[in-house]
Amino acid sequence: MNHAQCKTLKFSGDIPPLFDQAIHELKEDLSICLPDAGSEGYPVSFQAGACLAVQAGQDGAVITYSRRVECYRGLSLLCAHLDQLPFAIRQPRCFSTLGIMLDVSRNAVLRPETLRLYLRKMALMGFDLAMLYTEDTFELPGYPYFGYLRGRYSQEELRSLDDYAFALGIELCPSIQTLAHLNRALHWPAMEHLKDTEEVLMVGDEKVYDFIEAMLREGSRPYRSRRVHIGMDEAHFLGLGNYLRRNGYKNPFSIMQSHLTRVNEILQRLGLEAMMSSDMYFRLGSPTGGYYDCPGIDPDVAANAPKNISLVYWDYYHEDEADYDRMLEMHRRLDAPVIYSGGIWTWTGPAPHYGKTIASGISGLRSAKRAGVDFVLATMWGDNGAEANLFTGLYGLQLWAEFNYGGDYQEEVVRRRFQDVTGIDPDFFLHLTDFNQLPGVKDWSVRPVNASKFLLYQDPLVPLFEADLKDVDAASHYNELAELYQDYRQSASSAGPLSALTGLMLDFYRQLAHTLSLKCRWHQEAGTAVRQGRREQAPPLAALARETAGQLTALRDIWCAFWNAANKPYGFEILDLRVSGMAGRMETAARAMDEWGAGHIETIAPLAETPLPYTVMADGSLKGSYAWGEIASSCKLDL
């Protein structure tokens, strides 16, 4: 920190517990200095009150707070306006609890130092709660394969993180799956006796309840909080695997109800306050097995739902507030506390989708505010390999924070606050959506297009998406993005504690755009050349394929550096295999072009076939392809 530029502050009044520890951690993020003993500084007095307020003049400032974390948001507001004295800000909250959920189970396990960085930014934004989504990424005595070679957190790491969060006024709590989404734990031969299907536990088995009790006991042990998310979501094919062979067919709702009763008993025994995803209540009453098309809650379901477990209504998709209003009204009939959970779209592929983040999140927050929901949760998932570094979701957090303290969405407020809190130009983040949205391509709203993923992994000789993108000049689009991120990289100034991650982010997206521009040129030209028999184009196409292979290798290396800067060194092997494999396929394509150009083969058979539409919907929109296995080949991939 440059002491010549930082402002020295001197604190007094109702200073919250652990303030000295917190301010020591935050001083670089705030660009402030602390006075030496006996020296002077700008006076800042704290006082407890009904809501966050900052009143500042030439002689000092008063920060009023209703909870500890608001002291640090208040300081952030003060430091951003010190050159605009006098001023007064009052910010009553929309929601009693403002939280985030970080997925640390889908291969990317955030380093403890990355989580500390996140917690500091959360404090400056005013978040009260951080949840770690840990399927098998924590130590579980007695189950050595649980999280084996997956980067699991030690008890000491989690305890230290909990201490750090607590000093900042943030509650840290776990999310622990107790029914489904346990594929990585259950795939080991030593654990398969616990499974119904590949993802779901064997309900009714006493060894399963021993396992669940161990997960809840040990998974919650490092945390002060007694809150825990117990999952229960997306238990597809419940009772239709090993359970069916062992017990015969039983109604899925009765299986679910019996299981939830047993888990609830464990929770009570351990003194834990639980929340769970609500979707299974709705899926069991839906004609299609969906979540959002349920016509109404069955009275028997409502009567048997536990009243002591909060229901998490998760919805990352809808953009019409009326859809959220309808779902929240149906949740009320279950007579349990309701939590709204929205999404910061980090799971679409290498680049997050901020267009969808804003459109869905703001509608959900507005509806939750009207409905009087007390607790809202922003989630950042890492489905299918955690290709988007969770650092790229930071702007989404600012959006949720400013809605909470401002009462609605105001883009300029979010942009300004993001710059104040992080020191980063918000355009670096907002333009990441352009990696997914191509000119002239219409998104399917439920599953928006994620072009950066399917174009990166589309095989050069098996171009599944060629017809979908007919007449779309994706190569020029990505070339322009490469130039844009080159400009961003050259103009980026220091972002304080975030400067290293910001630099790696800009390097990665510059390289991704450049690589995609070359790869898209291949896809736009190679198939047409082969089908039209233009052998004279084979040599330049072979050269293009080899150049693209080299750029894919460079992308892999930068991606690895970006990954390791934020995450533990586990899980990147999946992305390494995908990108290195694509580089190898480009070399194979180059050799095929050489053979065809020299007349050694009559044609390149896969490229000679007439392309058929793949992901085009009836209305002409394209749906996103979020799994590598549905992009890489038309053959079955046994993963």
97-134 tens-digit pLDDT: 999 999 999 999 999 999 999 999 999 999 999 999 99
- State residue 271 phi and psi, 5-degree precision: 70, 35
Distances (CA, A) of 525 to 43, 475, 519, 531: 66, 10, 10, 10
Reported as a pLDDT band with limits 50, 70 and 90, residue 1 is: very low
Q: Do the Cβ atoms of 242 and 202 come closer than 8 Å?
A: yes
Reported as a pLDDT band with limits 50, 70 and 90, residue 517 is: very high
Identity at 569, one-letter amino acid code: P
The per-residue pLDDT for 4 is 45
Distance CA 324, CA 328 (A): 6
Distance CA 289, CA 237 (A): 10
The per-residue pLDDT for 183 is 95
Q: Cα 401 vs. chain centroid, distance in angstroms?
A: 16
Distance CA 108, CA 493 (A): 28
Reported as a pLDDT band with limits 50, 70 and 90, residue 300 is: confident
pTM here is: 0.96
Decide: helix, strand or coil at residue 41. Answer: coil
| Superfamily in which the 7-91 domain is placed by CATH | N-acetyl-beta-d-glucosaminidase (3.30.160.230)
Q: Do the Cβ atoms of 491 and 506 come closer than 8 Å?
A: no
The per-residue pLDDT for 298 is 80
Residue with tokens 């008063």: 62
Q: Which of 323, 325, 318, 320 is nearest to 343 (CA)?
A: 318
The per-residue pLDDT for 117 is 97
Query: What architecture (CATH level 2) is domain 432-630?
Result: Up-down Bundle (1.20)
The larger pLDDT score, comparing residue 1 to residue 273, is at 273
How would you classify residue 407: left for phi > 0, otherwise alpha for psi between -120 and 50, otherwise beta? Answer: left
Reported as a pLDDT band with limits 50, 70 and 90, residue 398 is: very high
Beta strand 52-57 pairing with 60-65: antiparallel
Q: Do the Cβ atoms of 454 and 625 come closer than 8 Å?
A: yes
Average pLDDT, the chain: 95
Q: Do the Cβ atoms of 118 and 398 come closer than 8 Å?
A: no
The larger pLDDT score, comparing residue 287 to residue 559, is at 559
Distance CA 228, CA 268 (A): 12
Beta strand 171-175 pairing with 7-13: unpaired
The per-residue pLDDT for 639 is 58
The per-residue pLDDT for 605 is 97
Q: What is the pLDDT of residues 420-468, one digit of tens each?
A: 999 999 999 999 999 999 999 998 888 999 999 999 999 999 999 999 9
Reported as a pLDDT band with limits 50, 70 and 90, residue 5 is: low
Give the CA-trace dihedral at 346, 107, 99, 71, to 10 degrees.
-100
Mean pLDDT of 542-547: 98
Mean pLDDT of 535-539: 98
Q: Do the Cβ atoms of 409 and 403 come closer than 8 Å?
A: yes
Check if 97-426 and 432-630 are the same fold: no
Reported as a pLDDT band with limits 50, 70 and 90, residue 496 is: confident
Cis peptide before 86 (omega within 30 of 0): yes
Task: Flag whether pLDDT at 35 surpasses 50.
Answer: yes
Which helix (H) or strand (E) element contains residue 192?
A: none
Which helix (H) or strand (E) element contains residue 102?
A: strand 97-103
- State residue 292 phi and psi, 5-degree precision: -100, 0
Q: What percent of the chain lies above the pLDDT cut of 70?
A: 99
Mean pLDDT of 610-620: 94
The per-residue pLDDT for 297 is 83
Task: Flag whether pLDDT at 50 surpasses 70.
Answer: yes
Task: Flag whether pLDDT at 387 surpasses 90.
Answer: yes
The per-residue pLDDT for 601 is 97
Mean pLDDT of 133-150: 98
For the chain, domain boundaries: 7-91, 97-426, 432-630
The per-residue pLDDT for 52 is 98
Reported as a pLDDT band with limits 50, 70 and 90, residue 3 is: very low
The per-residue pLDDT for 591 is 98
Q: Cα 187 vs. chain centroid, distance in angstroms?
A: 24
Q: What is the pLDDT of residues 196-232, one digit of tens each?
A: 999 999 999 999 999 999 999 999 999 999 999 999 9
Which helix (H) or strand (E) element contains residue 178?
A: none
Which helix (H) or strand (E) element contains residue 159?
A: helix 155-167
Fold topology of 97-426 = TIM Barrel (3.20.20)
The larger pLDDT score, comparing residue 415 to residue 288, is at 415
Helices (H), 284-424: 299-304, 321-332, 354-371, 394-406, 411-422
Reported as a pLDDT band with limits 50, 70 and 90, residue 299 is: confident
Distances (CA, A) of 471 to 434, 436, 464, 582: 18, 17, 15, 24
The per-residue pLDDT for 289 is 83
Q: Do the Cβ atoms of 177 and 231 come closer than 8 Å?
A: yes
Residues linked to residue 100 through DSSP beta bridges, in sequence order = 130, 378
